[in-house]
Amino acid sequence: MTTQFTGQNFKDEVIDKSKTTPVLVDFYASWCGPCQMQAPIIEELSEELKEKAVIGKLSTEEYPEIAANYGIMSIPTLLIFKDGAVVEEMIGLRDKESLIQQIEKYV
């Protein structure tokens, strides 16, 4: 199951966990069509890569301050965190294979 990141768990679940395993964060909004198309891909990834990476989502509607901290201007935007910092930024809808390739670079 995909992790739902929040303002309360972002530091522990993203920043701290990325020190030992890559973390992919899907920044999305409920009204965003491409975000809705990305959602099932994120779900599949979270199941397939659960031993290798943390995969989750963060609502830009509920937590705009976190999105602003990372300069999120378009959604969906997917960030990969490693060692507490952003190492990859992907803007727009991405297919599962390209996401796996990006995550595998940091495993």
Catalytic sites, residue numbers: 32, 35
Instruction: Identify whether the C-beta of residue 52 lies closer than 8 Å to the C-beta of residue 82.
Output: no
Which of 71-75's residues contact partners 24+ apart within 8 Å by CB, and which partners? 72/27, 75/27, 75/28, 75/29, 75/32, 75/34, 75/35
